[in-house]
Amino acid sequence: MAKKQFFISAEEGLHARPAAALVSEANRYQCELSLEFKDRTVNLKSILGVMGLGIPTRSDITIHADGQDEQEALLGLAAVLLAKDMIDADR
């Protein structure tokens, strides 16, 4: 199992479009992926689960990956968050 923590810096938080892009990217991988925020964990391959967390700006999230392509998945998901200006690359 692998995990990576991210700080959501976008003013809107993790809103619909970047959440959809994140879920779309997650579905490219075979490993199990989950998103943790404030003691709640959801399946990262479910848009309803991700949106249900209501992640605001200045929040720490953790992505957990478990499976054959877990490292590749974490890198791909980080790239999506960075491309959508959701995270600060320097943090």
Active site residues: 15
Residues 6+ apart with CB under 8 A from 29: 65, 67, 69, 70, 72, 73, 76
End-to-end CA distance of the chain: 23
